[in-house]
Chain A
Amino acid sequence: EPEVTQTPSHQVTQMGQEVILRCVPISNHLYFYWYRQILGQKVEFLVSFYNNEISEKSEIFDDQFSVERPDGSNFTLKIRSTKLEDSAMYFCASSEAHGAPASLHFGNGTRLTVT
């Protein structure tokens, strides 16, 4: 069964450094998402992306975050200047379509630790 692949599985960085989290969505999917989950808390929406542009973003997704689809297979999340509170699991997801009956398929996440 096709799956969403994320790399790296674990990233440790120092406060103020830039990180790029990478994702390969399912190949025939058109909609891409990033979510995060702080330890012990809910899964939270960050951003959705379609047709090479952001279609929706949350209040969390401020100017330090950016997303890009640099080629036909990768989807990246960049955090420009990491803060301690950015430590979380970051999940990439993709779907065939935007509305019903679309379901999101998630990767296994990148655990980001900011020290």
Chain B
Amino acid sequence: TQLLEQSPQFLSIQEGENLTVYCNSSSVFSSLQWYRQEPGEGPVLLVTVVTGGEVKKLKRLTFQFGDARKDSSLHITAAQPGDTGLYLCAGTNFGNEKLTFGTGTRLTIIP
């Protein structure tokens, strides 16, 4: 069974601060996706990374896929209250549609 462990589980910081969330596994994935989920809604895809070492930027969010394709990180610069939510990473395997979701990081940005 492939597991994706996210850390920290909970994070509460002040508006304007920077933060990094981690997604780690002992297994190799063909791609890693990051989702954000707000209360009462389903997860919404933020980004997909597919190449080891790949870095993608989405405004203030920077996503990195580990060289060995076993881990990923999400860095947020100058966090804003609108960044508050549950962040989920999810891995896929070659030729398989199944997503294995991580344990989640619940982020709260305090105004």
Q: Do A and B bind each other?
A: no
Interface of B toward A, CB cutoff 8 Å? none
